[in-house]
Each structure stands twice: as structure tokens, then as C-alpha cells.
Amino acid sequence: MSQTVANTEASPLNPHELRRMDAYWRALNYLSVGQIYLLDNPLLKETLKREHTKPRLLGHWGTSPGLNMLCVHLNRVIKRDDLNMIYVIGPGHGGPSLVAHAYLEGTYSERYPSITQDTAGMKKLFKQFSFPGGIPSHVAPETPGSIHEGGELGYALSHAYGAAFDNPDLIVACVVGDGEAETGPLATGWQGNKFLNPARDGAVLPILHLNGYKIANPCFLARIPKDELQKYFEGMGYEPFFVEGHEPASVHQQLAETLDIVTDRIRNIWSDARSNGNLTRPKWPMIVFRTPKGWTCPPEIDGKKCEDYWRSHQVPMGDLDNENHIRILETWMKSYRPEELFDETGKLLPELASLAPEGHRRMSDNPHTNGGLLMRDLHLPDFRDYEVEVSSPGATIAESARCMGGYLRDVMKLNLNSKNFRLFSPDENKSNRWQDVLDVTDRCYMAEIYPEDDHLSPDGRVMEVLSEHQCQGWLEGYLLTGRHGFFSCYEAFIHIIDSMFNQHAKWLKTCNNIPWRTPIASLNYFLSSHVWRQDHNGLSHQDPGFIDHVVNKKAEVIRVYLPPDANCLLSVTEHCLRSRNYVNVVIAGKQPAPQWLTMDQAIKHCTAGLGIWEWASNDMGSEPDVVMACCGDVPTLETLAAVDLLRKHLPELKVRVINVVNLMRLQPHSEHPHGLSDHDFDALFTKDKPVIFAFHGYPWLIHRLTYRRTNHKNLHVRGYKEEGTTTTPFDMVVMNDLDRFHLCEDVIDRLPQLGARAAYFKQKLHEKLIDHKEYIAKHGDDMPEVSGWGWGRNHVPVEGATSTEGDNV
């Protein structure tokens, strides 16, 4: 039960302050319990009855009282020192707490005018919580002041550091649940301090909420000796402060004193860096906040321990048809003494309300938590200026990713003063060919730097750490607070953050239905070192399935692009940087490869999203015999090489070549806003001709996107079928039947009318495949003639092979 605060020593809170702060805390606790249990009778003016309570009790009490106390105390220092502070609440189950906080600060009523600060509003506040048509039980996009969904655990610190980057006066108070602290992403999240520059960035104040229990088990950080816990945080470069207890008055005093110290520390670190130029990595403060789980709820219910135990994790009393439980609930809620907190109308007493900061200093109303309010558009150079000259299709060899890197270098340069653009990569920035960006900025590093180090500095804007979780979490935090970025990753390993992508996509989908949430920059992925060119790393590095994963999410927030060459990639890149509230997935290679389109052609092609490549086709003015479709750079190369073979050896065959940049164009318009109409689809892919589709990813994805199309029965897709090892680039496509020879065979197999000459040609193709196998077994490398696209006739040698420095993991 809630304990009365005795007058204690004056320092640092005097009795008056202490009493008021404890009252505010009780108000938050009261509102938290009310949301979980009550439908009516919000201020308990009547004797509590079953019908005043909810039929289904959903919510999490356990973490709420601790979060509530932290809110009260953070408000104290914000108000006193006019701090710019936001919170990231890892224990996001504590939805009731954050909602109560926003309600008492007035923000909730500003966002949702029907939830007024009076008895009627409080009743609605209680009812809507975890109620059909109401709000989720967790901290969510609907919660003012949140940039962090309280569902999947692990990302609180990564989000917090992302928010703090380039916000030099911002303190991000990040509450880490001790359950969450067991996850991998959180365990490395602490190390964000190796990348936080105290001169240019804000501060993260981690608060480990050590209340001891998860759903059904103790947390191990609560069960190791204090000296181990202390060393753990010191070992990660923090100065830990411990606030521990179960007696509210004592904890209030300790917490107030500790927050006085840590905010001082942060100001000193900032000023040392900014006034004295001290850029050695500081020992940032952090707090271990050890208080009971479910603090102030009944110590026992039905003879079973509840407070300070895992039973208080969720809803302490699930069965309110038990009259005794109704009485326990009433006594519990009344222990907060609501009559001392709210006036007759149900409004918080003014002497308590005045404890909260005002306007945008309220954490629930800080504009950093509604990033679109602060977001400024990037200054973008004209991507046309980065055109790769293509005198004729295939005549130029270039590394698409490197061309993109050149453009991003200048995006970086143009926005250096705005300090709102960063690149993120798990040690793959250079391997994925974005190294040119290092001409204008460095890699960010706050650990020790040696003289021989290559472009490392505290001021760098390229964020490299060998953790896809950190890259994703930092970028999300950066975007959600109104900035811009791009994440470069090996295609196979982006699966490491599948679940983080899920949560971000769900967040965006939900925000689209919340009027006060302003649009933010899209989350942009560049996936290179892709499945077809991981021949040197082998099967473990070969996986194109992220596309399949992404397209399960709501069409309104998902975009997938597979530019076939550098000019298309440039066009797509610029488009992604301008877009808002999407997840853009861009997949393209980094190896020297033939270039197909001029910039004008590329812009037209990317705007259409897909189209006939007339220069490669010979069906002009008539129906083709076969459609050769391709999506992805390597499939495009193999398709064009196949078409070259077919047109040379079977010149009577009318071939139409279609390239797809924007994968979502394949879906019906009813399924995705970018989807082609059936009429347009039929015009391109015909109603009845064979379509040989060479796809970058798993072939069945194309079927999934097109199964409702008229000509689907004639669609034959080649793609990655999970065959690979350490081998040559061409052998990779052969292993998966995606190579030019197989594609030709696929055409011939579907057009028996081609007759004997085609059969003979097919036999020759088959022999060519055997030759190739023999050649590579002997030479360990591909036949030179399969490196280009024009077999025999138009062979283009691959030039400009690059050094292996930083090439590949």
C-alpha cells in the first residue's frame, strides 16, 4: 500500500517540496491503477462496485509506479533548470504511467480534446485504456511524448542515442527495464557512448529500472552483487549512481539528490567539451533505480505475495467478480488519497499542477518527440549532375553503389551545416562503396583514435558499428526526432533487424491515422553486397528474403526498388531522400557492371517504375512471341545477355524486354498504391504469351505479387532458390538457373513452334553450361565471355576492378 511520507531531513527536498512531489506521484499512481481497472466512478465518490470496473482487465501495473516516480523527479529538474529533456521508456508496458503523465501535464487534453481534465475526462481516460476503440495498453504512437513503442524489447538505448545525436542541448532520459537489459540489442546499446560527442550531441541519461522481475522470473541484473553491477557499468564507460529503497520518502530524497548530481555532471561534460575543447570520451552518468516491482500495490492478495514480486507484473487481481477483490482495489486506490490530489471537478490541484514544466518543456509535448515538427528538408544536389555517361546500352562499366556514394557525399556536404544527415552501417560503408563520403566527413568515433586511423573523428557523420541493431535503432531515433539518414547493409544480414523493421513499419502505419503526428523522413535501406555477389563469402551471406519480409507490411508504408544501373539508382536515391513516412528498400550491386540507361532514360524509367526496354526488344508494333522480364541488376544483365543470344541465333523470334525498378508496380492497384491497373499490366505483359521473369530474390515472391493477373499462368520466374557456396559470380547464377543459358532454354521450352533450329541451339546452350562448369573447375574463375552481356557479339570486358581494401567481410 502507498506509504505516507514522513518529514525527513531537509536535503535536498524540503518538507513542502517532498509532500507536493509525493502527492504528484500518488496522483500518477492513482491514474495508472484507474486506467487498468475502472470504467466509471473515477474518483471513487461512490462505493466501488463491480459494474464500475472493466470486464476485461488488460495492462501492466508492475513497472508503472517506478516510471511515475521518475516522471515526477525529471519534471523537477526540467522546471528548475529549464532543461530540454525527453524520455524513452523501455518498459513500454507501462502505458498507464505515460498516459497519466501526459494527462496531468495537460498535453493529453490538447491532443485529444474529449479527454478533459475533470471527472468526465478522467472517466473517459480510464475507459479508453485497453478498451476496444480506445488506446493500446503500451506506450505507443498514440502516447504524446513517445518516440518508442513499448512492445518488443531491446531498443530503448539505441533509440535514445539516435535522438541525442546532433541535438546539443537535449537530454534523453532513457529508462531501461531490467528484463529488457537481458536482450542482446540492449546489452550492446549501452556502448552508444563510444559514439556520442559531447560537443555536438546531447546527452543520454540511462536509468536502469531494477525492479527485479519479468513476467514470471527474476532478472539477473537484480541478482548479481552490487560490485559486479557497478563494474559492469564502469566497464562500459559510465559513472553509475544507485538509488535504492522501498520507503518513498527516502527514495524521493535519494532520487532528487542523484538527479541534481547527474544533471550537473552532464552540464559539466558539455561545457568541458564546448568551452575547453575536451573531446576525450567522458564518463557519462547513469542511474540504477532499484525499487519494488508493483510498488504501493497490496503486498499480498489472497495470501500470495504481490508487491515486490512478479505477480504484480500485469494486473494484480484478475478476477473482480470476487467481491473481496473489489474491496482490495478500492482500499488500494484510496490509499493514494485522491481527495488530496484532485478538486471537486476532478482537476489536479493547482499547487500540484504547478510542479510540471510548461509548454514544450513538458516531456509529453517536447517537439523532438513529434519529429516532423522540427524536420527540415535536406538540401539535395541535382542528381542529374552525377550521370554516368552511357553512349549505348552496355558500353559503360560502372559500380552503381559507388556512383550513389558520390551523390551521398554531396548530400552530406550540402547539409553539414544543418547537422541533420547521417549514414549508418555495420562496418560496411566502404565495402558497400560509399567511401567517397569520407571526403567530406569522417566516421564517428569517441573511443581512442590512433594516428594511423583512417577517417575517424568525434565529428564524423558516418556511423559504423558492427551491430545492425545499433545502426537500425540509432537511425530510427534520429528519424523520429526529425532528421534524415540512410542505412547501408549487406543484403543477407539485414534480416538481423527484421523484427525492428516490423515495429517501425507498424509505428508508421499507426501514425498515419494520428492527425497530430507529423510526417518524418523515410527509413531508407541500401542493400548491397547482395545475394548474387556474395560468391566469395558463400551460402551464409546469400539471402534475398528481406524483400519478402518487407512486403508483408502495410502497402501504404512500404516501397521496394531494384534499380538495374547507376543512373536509375541515382534517381531512386533522390526520390527516397525526398519521401516521408515510408520504409524504402533499395537493392543494387557494388561490382563493376554494364550500364544501360542515360540519365534521361533512367528518370523516365524510374518514374514509370517499370517499362519496355525498346532498344533491347524487337517486337515493335506487334505482339511479342515472348516477354523477357527482369528485376534487379544481375537478372537484368543475364536477361539482356539471353536476349542477345536469342536475337542472334533465332532472329525470327519477337522478344519484348521489360525491366522492373519499382517492385510494387507488379501488385494490383487495389493492393498497393503503386500497383499497375490490370489493363496496363496486360498491355505490357500480354494476355497470353510466355513471360520469362528473371528476379533478384526468391522466385515465388513474383508469383505472390502477380497471381491475380490475366497472364499469370504463363509466367515463369527464375530467382534465388537457396543454392550457393563460395564460387564464381557466374556460377552463382548457374546454380540457380538464372543465367543467360538457362533463360534461353526457358524460352525455347515454352515455344515448341520454334522447331528444330531452336532445339539445336538449346543443345548448344546446354553444352556451353557444361563447358562453363569444366572451365571454372580448372581455372577457378569464370570464362571471360560470361562477364559481359553480349555473348560473342557485344562482349564488354569488365574493367576497373578495384583493390580488395575494405572490400568484403
Site residues for a copy of itself, 297-326, by CB under 8 A, read: 305, 309-311, 313-315, 318-319
Nearer to a copy of itself, 59 or 394 (CB): 59
HSE-up of residue 703 (Cα within 13 Å, Cβ side) = 10
358 is an interface residue for a copy of itself by CB under 8 A: no
**Starting from the edge strand earliest in sequence, which strands make up the sheet with 715-718, in order?**
610-612, 655-660, 626-631, 691-695, 715-718
Cell numbers at 809, concatenated: 567481410
H or E segment to which residue 198 belongs: none
Task: Show Cβ contacts of residue 349 under 8 Å, excluding neighbours closer than 6 positions.
Answer: 23, 340, 341, 342, 343
451 is an interface residue for a copy of itself by CB under 8 A: no
140 is an interface residue for a copy of itself by CB under 8 A: yes
514 is an interface residue for a copy of itself by CB under 8 A: no
Q: Which of 6, 10, 447, 514 binds a copy of itself (CB under 8 A)?
A: 447
Q: Which of 6, 9, 10, 235 binds a copy of itself (CB under 8 A)?
A: 235
For residues 56 to 95, the per-residue mask of contacts with a copy of itself, x marking binding by CB under 8 A and - elsewhere, is xxx----------------------------------x--
242 is an interface residue for a copy of itself by CB under 8 A: no
Helix axis angle for 95-105 and 64-81, nearest 10°, is 30
Alpha helices in 462-585 (DSSP H): 468-480, 498-511, 546-550, 566-578
Greatest Cα-to-Cα distance within the chain, rounded to the nearest angstrom: 102
469 is an interface residue for a copy of itself by CB under 8 A: yes
Nearer to a copy of itself, 375 or 629 (CB): 629
The CA distance from 758 to 505, in Å, is 49
Interacting span for a copy of itself (CB under 8 A) from 64-72, 365-373, 635-643, 772-780: 772-780
CB of 566 to a copy of itself, least distance (A): 22
Q: Which of 124, 347, 419, 549 binds a copy of itself (CB under 8 A)?
A: 549
Nearer to a copy of itself, 509 or 648 (CB): 509
Nearer to a copy of itself, 78 or 551 (CB): 551
Interacting span for a copy of itself (CB under 8 A) from 68-76, 179-187, 633-641, 677-685: 179-187
Contact present, 647 and 624 (Cβ < 8 Å): no
- The dihedral sign for the CA sequence 127, 129, 131, 135: positive
Query: What Å distances lie between residue 206 and 174, 706, 721, CA to CA?
Result: 5, 48, 45
- The dihedral sign for the CA sequence 142, 35, 180, 169: positive
Q: Which of 68, 636, 728, 736 binds a copy of itself (CB under 8 A)?
A: 728
CB of 61 to a copy of itself, least distance (A): 11
H or E segment to which residue 410 belongs: helix 400-414
| Residue reference for cell 547464377 | 733
CB of 300 to a copy of itself, least distance (A): 11
Contacts to a copy of itself from residues 412-431, by CB under 8 A:
427-431
CB of 782 to a copy of itself, least distance (A): 9
For residues 579 to 618, the per-residue mask of contacts with a copy of itself, x marking binding by CB under 8 A and - elsewhere, is ----------------------------------------
Contacts to a copy of itself from residues 185-214, by CB under 8 A:
185-189, 191, 194, 214
Partners of 288 in the beta sheet?
A: 208, 242
DSSP state for residue 379 in the 8-state scheme: P
Amino acid at 786: V
124 is an interface residue for a copy of itself by CB under 8 A: no
The CA distance from 264 to 270, in Å, is 10
Task: Show Cβ contacts of residue 295 under 8 Å, excluding neighbours closer than 6 positions.
Answer: 65, 66, 69, 211, 246, 307, 308
Site residue total, a copy of itself (CB under 8 A): 135
Contacts to a copy of itself from residues 639-658, by CB under 8 A:
none
Contacts to a copy of itself from residues 249-308, by CB under 8 A:
305
385 is an interface residue for a copy of itself by CB under 8 A: no
Interacting span for a copy of itself (CB under 8 A) from 336-344, 442-450, 476-484, 600-608: 442-450
**Helices and strands, counts by H and E, the chain:** 23, 22
Nearer to a copy of itself, 184 or 673 (CB): 184
Q: Which of 94, 121, 150, 162 binds a copy of itself (CB under 8 A)?
A: 150
Report CA dihedral (431, 434, 435, 436) to the nearest 10 degrees: 160
Q: Which of 105, 180, 201, 745 binds a copy of itself (CB under 8 A)?
A: 180
Cell numbers at 133, concatenated: 476503440
Q: Which of 138, 290, 433, 718 binds a copy of itself (CB under 8 A)?
A: 138
798 is an interface residue for a copy of itself by CB under 8 A: no
The CA distance from 23 to 19, in Å, is 6
809 is an interface residue for a copy of itself by CB under 8 A: yes
Query: What Å distances lie between residue 27 and 341, 441, 741, CA to CA?
Result: 6, 49, 74
Q: Which of 27, 38, 122, 135 binds a copy of itself (CB under 8 A)?
A: 135
Q: Which of 391, 417, 552, 753 binds a copy of itself (CB under 8 A)?
A: 552
Nearer to a copy of itself, 26 or 311 (CB): 311
Helix axis angle for 400-414 and 566-578, nearest 10°, is 40
Nearer to a copy of itself, 493 or 613 (CB): 493
HSE-up of residue 618 (Cα within 13 Å, Cβ side) = 13
687 is an interface residue for a copy of itself by CB under 8 A: no
Contacts to a copy of itself from residues 708-727, by CB under 8 A:
712, 722, 725-727
Report CA dihedral (384, 385, 386, 388) to the nearest 10 degrees: 80
669 is an interface residue for a copy of itself by CB under 8 A: no
CB of 644 to a copy of itself, least distance (A): 25
Q: Which of 79, 110, 199, 237 binds a copy of itself (CB under 8 A)?
A: 237
20 is an interface residue for a copy of itself by CB under 8 A: no
The CA distance from 49 to 91, in Å, is 31
Interacting span for a copy of itself (CB under 8 A) from 168-176, 506-514, 565-573, 616-624: 506-514
539 is an interface residue for a copy of itself by CB under 8 A: yes
Cell numbers at 125, concatenated: 481516460
